[in-house]
Amino acid sequence: MPRFSANLGFLWTELDLPDAILAAASAGFDAVECHWPYGADPDIVHAALLETQLPMLGLNTRRGDVAAGENGLSALPGREIEARAAIDEAFDYAEAVGAEAVHVMAGVTDAPVAAEVFETNLRYAVARAGRRMVLIEPLNRFDTPGYFLSNLSQARDIIERIGAPNLKLMFDCYHVGRTEGDVAAELKALLPHIGHIQFASVPDRGAPQGGTLDYGAVFETIDTLGWQRPLGAEYRPGGPTEASLGWMTNLR
């Protein structure tokens, strides 16, 4: 039976992070994850995690200047000092709350040296991570035009070149379903490289019911692959989160 993680970047956004953790526990989630938790006191967040006994699976490095269109720093030439400061900040926060992984965000760039910059910063991140995991995630070109890391083969090549056991792929079924076709086939092909799996309906990024991707079949595939970690519910609920949770019963 699948287990689920509530992505608190999209779910219960009207609550502060500690209260959102409590809400996720009350709703029956098995874990939580977040995007950018840095405004929340890590001691209070950690206390909420201890109270609920929910693991925090992961968080993201900062995006940079969001108003200027930035969406990560680690592939941006000339921004290496800021990128590494963001990596340090993310792992410091992860250590304070007990989070298992950090998603290092590449950013929007078409610079010829972006790949070299990104891989150099990832080597820094995997050394900084210690026992924690470093995740990279391809983002689809419709939602995030110009994002450096945009497809699975690119991510796989980076992971294989760096060769660090704690560098893994964040496989988001939504992003894969938007641009790369057969989600189940890609899961099977990339399983050794995957560190976390997320999901949302395709193409609207709502709750995983309806849409063009059959999550009953997807979750069955994941189960047959022997996947044990909770799956990340990273969808936009389109209203109160509680009203969107019928899928949890149906898909279990």
DSSP 226: T
CA torsion through residues 111, 117, 121, 122, sign: positive
Give SS3 for 240. Answer: coil
Closest C-alpha among 158, 171, 181, 152 to residue 101: 171
Q: What are the residue numbers of the active site?
A: 137, 234
The pair of three-digit structure tokens given for residue 184, joined into one six-digit string: 């189940």
Q: Please report the DSSP string for 27-67 in residue order.
A: TT-SEEE-S--TTS-HHHHHHHHHHHT--B-EEE---S-GG
How crowded is the C-beta side of 212, counted as CA atoms within 13 Å? 14
